[in-house]
């Protein structure tokens, strides 16, 4: 069955940010999709990656808890969400609204990645002893054994040299902001800050742009770079300029689109609180089949899988997604029963659509849209308390208590409308663009009409 990506995180509802709305452009009617498209009356629009997506009402975006190891999810729904956001080689973290204490949690986790002088010294000695031992072994043995030992010695010396260099340049850079940090560890950086606009912590990490700088201040340069190109925003606010939308931010791309991206983020429809979407985007794989419609059917009926609780399915249905061939299919679930008992399903139904996209086209990526009609797990409250399993009688989804998903047919119509609403944001790609000349030109023409 389609299983949602299981996580545990606690975001908050979107708060109003009037300052952002002054500088960002929200235009739910704009579209430069392949086919003419109009946002349905009463629907709202959000921006993710370089695309616009419509929803029957306002949405709650998944966010990360304010801690060092976080993934994206929802407050009061602890086991459903998504967990990846990467722009180029840089993972991006956007937390729930938090305070100085939440910031310190993120900061402490980042700082813990940097080895102390004592750690480095211990590592030096351990590596040196290993090298000495292997040097002795190269004096005897077969030709193959000697060659293997020598290779280990050479590798060890390179690692030792790199360790000495990392010790020299690693550490925390000096910043003037109170709730901000820039940390270097070897050729890598981790930067972050508590944003005064919406009180979320932002964190970025990756390879240094200028590793030749012989100090932790190379990380400060990365901090300055991301403060220039990244701007906080509401999910419904976006610019008609080249750039990349995160859940709560916008990354400016004046020199062209970053082609290496990964996005797997959840959003929840407030009008239908049980309907939880996860959008997955990544570059199309040059080695994969381009037309997903020509692959064998992979739903439960055709694969002849014995899926517990499945009471019906539909599809696959041919779809056109961002001008590329796609398909969708889904399943509806009944009670999950064993030989002795039954319990309600974790989801009433789920539906998924996918296209392989077109290699080299940022406007036609590999795309998966998944919708789960999550159910309340209040039934756990009737279970007895078990000392060794404190969560046995504790619901994972208190936010869904008392809520019921819409009927399958209604949920299917909502999913299909959301899927068909996905289109390239006007002005998202620099024109002219080798990656998307036709779509970029259309976006530019749309901007000129405004």
The β-bridge relationship of strands 342-343 and 59-61 is unpaired
Average pLDDT over residues 372-376: 94
E strands present in 363-446: 366-374, 423-424
Residues 157 and 246 in one domain: no
| Range among 22-31, 188-197, 313-322 with highest mean pLDDT value | 188-197
| Range among 134-143, 189-198, 282-291 with highest mean pLDDT value | 189-198
Q: Flag whether 190 is in a domain.
A: no
More confident residue, 295 or 128: 295
Q: Flag whether 353 is in a domain.
A: yes
Q: Flag whether 109 is in a domain.
A: no
Residues 362 and 256 in one domain: yes
Residues 28 and 122 in one domain: no
Q: Is the pTM of this model over 0.85?
A: no
Final residue of a structural domain among 169, 184, 201:
169
Residues 352 and 253 in one domain: yes
pLDDT, residue 124, reads: 64
Q: What 3-state DSSP class applies to 400?
A: helix
Residues 152 and 59 in one domain: no
Whole-number Cα distances in Å, 39 to 7, 18, 236: 32, 24, 13
How many domains does the chain fold into?
Answer: 2
Residues 270 and 410 in one domain: yes
The CA angle 224-168-220, to the nearest 5 degrees, is 5
Q: 155: domain range? A: 117-169
Whole-number Cα distances in Å, 278 to 5, 13, 48, 110, 345: 9, 17, 11, 27, 19
Residue 156: other Cβ atoms inside 10 A: 17
The Cα–Cα gap between 250 and 334 comes to 41
**Residue 437 banded pLDDT, cuts 50, 70, 90:** very low
- 410 with 280: CB under 8 angstroms? no
- 51 with 33: CB under 8 angstroms? no
Residues 364 and 237 in one domain: yes
Q: What are 37-54's pLDDT values in tens digits?
A: 889 899 999 999 999 999
Q: Flag whether 212 is in a domain.
A: no
Q: What are 384-419's pLDDT values in tens digits?
A: 888 888 778 888 899 999 999 999 999 999 999 999
Q: Flag whether 103 is in a domain.
A: no
pLDDT, residue 323, reads: 93
Residue 13: other Cβ atoms inside 10 A: 13
Residues 313 and 427 in one domain: yes
Mean pLDDT check: name the lowest of 83-87, 118-122, 403-407: 118-122
> Would the pLDDT of 178 be above 90?
yes
- 431 with 448: CB under 8 angstroms? no
Residues 274 and 400 in one domain: yes
pLDDT, residue 445, reads: 36
The CA angle 202-78-113, to the nearest 5 degrees, is 40
pLDDT, residue 358, reads: 93
Residues 78 and 123 in one domain: no
**Residue 35 banded pLDDT, cuts 50, 70, 90:** low
- 284 with 122: CB under 8 angstroms? no
Q: Is the peptide bond before 432 cis (omega within 30 degrees of 0)?
A: yes
First to last CA, the chain: 45
- 412 with 227: CB under 8 angstroms? no
**Residue 5 banded pLDDT, cuts 50, 70, 90:** very low
Run of H or E residues at 262: strand 261-269
Run of H or E residues at 206: strand 200-207
């Amino acid at each position: 069955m389609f299983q949602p990506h299981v996580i545990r995180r606690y975001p908050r509802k979107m708060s109003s940010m009037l300052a952002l709305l002054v500088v960002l452009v929200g235009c739910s009617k704009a579209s430069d999709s392949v086919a003419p498209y109009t946002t349905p009356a009463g629907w709202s629009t959000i921006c993710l990656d370089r695309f616009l997506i419509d929803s029957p009402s306002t949405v709650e975006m998944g966010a990360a808890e304010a801690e060092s190891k976080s993934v994206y999810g929802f407050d009061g729904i602890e086991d459903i969400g998504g967990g990846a956001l990467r722009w180029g080689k840089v993972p991006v973290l956007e937390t729930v609204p938090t305070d100085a204490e939440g910031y310190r949690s993120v900061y402490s986790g980042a700082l813990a990645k940097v080895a102390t002088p004592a750690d480095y010294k211990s590592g030096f000695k351990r590596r040196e002893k290993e090298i000495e031992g292997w040097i002795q072994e190269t004096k005897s043995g077969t030709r193959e054994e000697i060659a293997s030992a020598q290779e280990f010695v050479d590798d060890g010396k390179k690692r030792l040299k790199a360790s000495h260099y990392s010790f020299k340049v690693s550490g925390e850079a000096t910043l003037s902001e109170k709730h901000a940090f820039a940390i270097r560890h070897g050729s890598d950086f981790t930067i972050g800050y508590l944003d005064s606009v919406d009180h979320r912590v932002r964190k970025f990490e990756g390879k240094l742009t200028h590793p030749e700088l012989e100090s932790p201040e190379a990380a400060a340069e990365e901090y300055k770079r991301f403060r220039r190109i990244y701007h906080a925003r509401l999910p419904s606010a976006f610019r008609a300029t080249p750039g990349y939308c995160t859940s709560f931010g916008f990354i400016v791309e004046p020199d062209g689109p970053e082609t290496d991206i990964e996005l797997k983020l959840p959003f929840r429809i407030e009008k239908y609180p049980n309907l939880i979407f996860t959008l997955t985007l990544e570059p199309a794989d040059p080695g994969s089949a381009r037309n997903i419609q020509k692959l064998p059917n992979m739903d439960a009926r055709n694969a002849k899988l014995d899926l517990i609780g499945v009471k019906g399915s539909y599809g696959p249905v041919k779809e056109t997604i961002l001008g590329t061939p796609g398909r969708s299919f889904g399943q509806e679930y009944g009670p999950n029963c064993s030989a002795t008992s039954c319990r309600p399903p974790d989801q009433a139904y789920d539906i998924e659509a996918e296209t392989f996209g077109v290699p080299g086209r940022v406007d036609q990526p590999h795309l998966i849209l998944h919708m789960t009609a999550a159910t309340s797990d209040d039934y756990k409250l009737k279970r007895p308390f078990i000392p060794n399993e404190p969560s046995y009688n504790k619901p994972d989804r208190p936010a869904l208590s008392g809520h019921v998903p819409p009927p399958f047919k209604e949920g299917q119509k909502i999913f299909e409308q959301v899927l068909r609403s996905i289109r390239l944001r006007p002005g998202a790609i620099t024109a002219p663009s080798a990656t998307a000349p036709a779509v970029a030109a259309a976006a530019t023409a749309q901007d000129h009409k405004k």
